[in-house]
Amino acid sequence: GGSGAKMGKIALLLAVIASAMTSCGALHTEGLSQRISSAPTLAMRPSQELLRLRGAGPKKTPLKVKVATLKDTKKNPVEEWWFGYPCVTRWWFALCCITTLISWDKLPVNLPAQSLMLYWPAIIRGGVWRMLTTFTYFGSVGHNMLMEAVFMLNYSKSMEVTYNGVRAKYMWHLIINCVALMTLNTLVGLLGIGMDQEDGTKVPGIPFLAQPLLYSIVWIWARQNPETRMSVFGFFTVPAVYFPWFLLGYHCLMGGGLNIFYLMGFAVGHIFHFLNALHPTTKDSGLFEAPKWLADLMPVEKGFSGTVGVEVEGGAGEEDAKKKPSAFSGKGKSLGKK
């Protein structure tokens, strides 16, 4: 009897366990069915998703990486300033600075200014560099030298841009003016004009011709742009054709007297302009065209073609002046620094 009771209890326990397992299986099956039913079917998915699963969907465009080039890099202010001037002008300015520095007596090693001036006996003995340094020396380091150099930068640039990047032709015209100035300087020396030396001797003529060369450029530019109005200190304007004479008068009023630098530059500039632009025979000759070797050495420079605008005052010649080559942008050239 006792054994039968134990067997009955065991049978009852197994029945309870089986019932519990059946309930858990039913709950698991029901949850799985709900998850399957809640998941979207392939038929319900978008067409792009189907294409993606099949491997035929739209491919993602790879990101383009921009590689930095030299064109993308910006120039520093010094480079922008340096390359803002045409080739001949900027290198003339550089030679002026070098010539001034190598003759500066404040440096431990320097050359005396007398070794840079135009002196034909020294040139014949081998000092041929004097024919270059006489046109690149504006004086010792100081305010006057700086003003002359800046004056040269502005006017040489104004003149060079009218050549439309043909720097060989501008260089050739400068060489012609230099030869003319050295010839005229010899005649001036024969008149007894010269520079006294410390030893009592006199160097005939003008030893440094950088300023006469600069004023010859001013004269030529003024003749090419006669109707352009030049602003003087912002108070009044003068026609460019009279501007060189205004510079000479201003120099006299400031106590400089009748400077021969101006007169020599004006004379050479006038002769050059007459032969190059007015004389019927010489203006069409090949004298003022750059030789082939110089043209090959200095090809056309891009970026400096055309002319720079200039403000023209009202008057009868306003329209004509706007059509002429001009040299200054904005309101003209101020004389406050000269």
Q: Domain limits of the chain?
A: 1-31+79-297
Helix, strand, or coil (residue 232): strand
- Provide the 10 A C-beta neighbour count for residue 172: 19
At 36 the pLDDT is 47
At 62 the pLDDT is 56
Residue 312 pLDDT > 50, yes or no?
no
At 170 the pLDDT is 95
Residue 336 pLDDT > 80, yes or no?
no
Q: Looking at per-residue confidence, does 222 or 35 come out higher?
A: 222
Residue 165 pLDDT > 80, yes or no?
yes
- The H or E element spanning position 202 is strand 202-204
Among 194, 217, 209, CA closest to 116: 209
Among 227, 221, 219, 224, CA closest to 322: 227
Rg (CA), the chain: 43
At 320 the pLDDT is 40
Mean pLDDT, range 269-288, rounded to an integer: 90
Residue 68 pLDDT > 60, yes or no?
no
What is the per-residue burial (b if ≥16 Cβ within 10 Å, else e) of 15-24?
eeeeeeeeee
Mean pLDDT, range 167-190, rounded to an integer: 95
Q: In which band, very low, low, confident or very high, does the pLDDT at 309 lie, cut at 50, 70 and 90?
A: very low
At 264 the pLDDT is 95
The secondary structure of residue 76, as a DSSP letter, is: P
At 93 the pLDDT is 94
Which tokens hold the place of 50? 């189907």
At 276 the pLDDT is 93
Summarize pLDDT for 136-146 with one digit per residue, the tens.
999 888 888 88
Q: In which band, very low, low, confident or very high, does the pLDDT at 63 lie, cut at 50, 70 and 90?
A: low
* Segment among 110-114, 176-180, 301-305 with least mean pLDDT: 301-305
Q: Which of 4-8, 36-40, 49-53, 329-333 tops mean pLDDT?
A: 4-8
Mean pLDDT, range 257-270, rounded to an integer: 92
Report pTM.
0.68
Residue 212 pLDDT > 70, yes or no?
yes
For the four alpha carbons of 129, 135, 139 and 143, in that order, the dihedral sign comes to negative
Residue 11 pLDDT > 70, yes or no?
no
Q: In which band, very low, low, confident or very high, does the pLDDT at 26 lie, cut at 50, 70 and 90?
A: low
Mean pLDDT, range 84-88, rounded to an integer: 92
| Gap between the Cα atoms of 135 and 18, Å rounded | 118
At 322 the pLDDT is 39
Q: In which band, very low, low, confident or very high, does the pLDDT at 330 lie, cut at 50, 70 and 90?
A: very low
| Gap between the Cα atoms of 169 and 188, Å rounded | 28
At 289 the pLDDT is 93
Mean pLDDT, range 289-312, rounded to an integer: 73
Summarize pLDDT for 27-41 with one digit per residue, the tens.
455 554 555 455 454
At 179 the pLDDT is 97
Topology, domain 1-31+79-297: Rhomboid-like fold (1.20.1540)
At 4 the pLDDT is 58
Q: Looking at per-residue confidence, does 72 or 122 come out higher?
A: 122
- Provide the 10 A C-beta neighbour count for residue 200: 6
Mean pLDDT, range 85-114, rounded to an integer: 90
Task: Output the average pLDDT for the chain.
Answer: 77
Q: How far is CA 23 from CA 19, 32, 36, 289, in A?
A: 6, 14, 20, 111
At 313 the pLDDT is 35
